[in-house]
Amino acid sequence: MNIASFLSPKEEVTFLRDDMTIRQGLEKMKRYGYTAVPVIDAEDRYVGVVSEGDFLWNILSHNSELDSITMKSLEKLSIRDIIQSGKIRPVCIDTNMEELLGQAQMQNFVPVIDDRNVFIGIITRSEIIKYFIKKQIEVAEKQL
C-alpha cells in the first residue's frame, strides 16, 4: 500500500517556520486550533514539531529574563528556540504501511518528508483509522 494516498499535502497543512517569533507561532496555532504543528526551515526542510506545551514551558522558563509576559515580549524568542528536534520523527514518502502505523500509534499526525528531508505534508491518524474502518466494512459486506 502506498502511503501517499493518505497524505495531506503541505499546501493544505498548517505549519510554522523556525524563524517565526513565539508570538507569531502562538497566534497561528490559536487561529487554527491545533495543539501541535510541524516546523520547517527556510529551505522547507522538516525541523520538528512544536506543541502548546513547548510554548508554555519555554515562556515560563524565560519569565525571569522577561520583565513580564506580554505579547510584545514574546517577539524576543523564535520558534527555533523552543523546538524539540526528534520528538516526533517524520517518515519518508516511500515508507511502508507498518512503519507508518507504528508512528501514528504514538502521535496524532505523522510528518512526511522526501529523500532530501523536505517537508511534503502530514498523514493524520484519523485518516488511517477511516481507511481501516472502510476496509473492515468491505470485508464484512463480502461475508454476507
Output the pLDDT for position 85: 67
Each residue of 90-106: pLDDT tens digit?
A: 999 999 988 899 889 88
Torsion angle in degrees (nearest 10) through CA of 70, 72, 78, 82: 0
The pTM assigned to this predicted structure is: 0.84
Per-domain residue ranges of the chain: 3-143
Segment (H or E) for 105: helix 97-106
Identify the CATH number of the domain defined by range 3-143: 3.10.580.10
List, in sequence order, every beta strand (DSSP E) within the chain. Answer: 8-9, 16-17, 36-40, 46-51, 91-92, 109-113, 119-124
